[in-house]
Chains A and B, each alone.
Chain A
Amino acid sequence: SQTIHQWPATLVQPVGSPLSLECTVEGTSNPNLYWYRQAAGRGLQLLFYSVGIGQISSEVPQNLSASRPQDRQFILSSKKLLLSDSGFYLCAWSGPGSTSGTYEQYFGPGTRLTVT
């Protein structure tokens, strides 16, 4: 069965510090991978998605970046955090479009980031 991991679960970082959040998926190959951010009590904002190694699509221009160094690894980074970067960061995967007809997404447990 497929499993998605995210770490850390919670993180408190000062303004201006760097950020690196990691997401890994087990039990599937060539997944589509997604990074979302959720502000407290709000909806899901798609930040980045990837359909393959090294292929990143950015949805919202901001001080965040994403990378996919391996098939089942997705990393969210920032060089300098802003107060507005606080939120609940969720990684998700779905089957690749060529072999899956459903596209439902499976979410990791998330990382709660507080920028102080």
Chain B
Amino acid sequence: GQQVMQIPQYQHVQEGEDFTTYCNSSTTLSNIQWYKQRPGGHPVFLIQLVKSGEVKKQKRLTFQFGEAKKNSSLHITATQTTDVGTYFCAGKTAAGNKLTFGGGTRVLVKP
């Protein structure tokens, strides 16, 4: 079945630094979504990418969808303590109504 892998599993970042988390799917996706889960909370939808090579920005967050539509990345610049949480990517294939979630990247920020 479809698998979605995320690396790294953990990311310790100094406040103010940049980092990137990566997402790779075993199959071609129709779209990929990113979610953020704060400690103790539930996942919250951040963004969806649909087109091959698409790049979208949300303030300090930059999301990219690979040309082959099998991988994606999230880049955060000038990390802040508010960025703490677990970031999940989730892929959807053309058929079906379900998402396959990656294992998440847990981000810890050192002030």
Residue from B41, B45, B103, B106 within 8 A of A106 (CB atoms) = B45
A51, B102: Cβ atoms closer than 8 Å: no
On chain A, the number of residues with a Cβ less than 8 Å from chain B's Cβ atoms is 24
B102 touches A43 (CB 8 A): yes
Produce 1/0 per residue, B90-102, CB < 8 A to A. Answer: 1010000111111
Q: Which residues of A contact B106 (CB under 8 A)?
A: 41
Interface range for B: 20 to 34
Chain A residues with Cβ below 8 Å from B44 are 107
Please measure, in the bound complex, the distance between the C-alpha atom of A46 and the C-alpha atom of B102, giving whole angstroms: 11
Given contacts A44-B43, A90-B43, contact A102 B99 (CB under 8 A): no
Closest beta carbon of chain A to B68's beta carbon, Å: 21
Neighbouring B residues of A57 by C-beta, 8 Å: 98
Taking a contact as CB atoms under 8 Å apart, the answer to whether B97 and A44 are in contact is no
A110: nearest residue on chain B (CB-CB)? B42
Contact with B along A32-52 (1 / 0, CB 8 A): 101010000111101001010
A residues engaging B (CB < 8 A)? 32, 34, 36, 41-44, 46, 49, 51, 57, 59, 90, 94, 97, 102-110
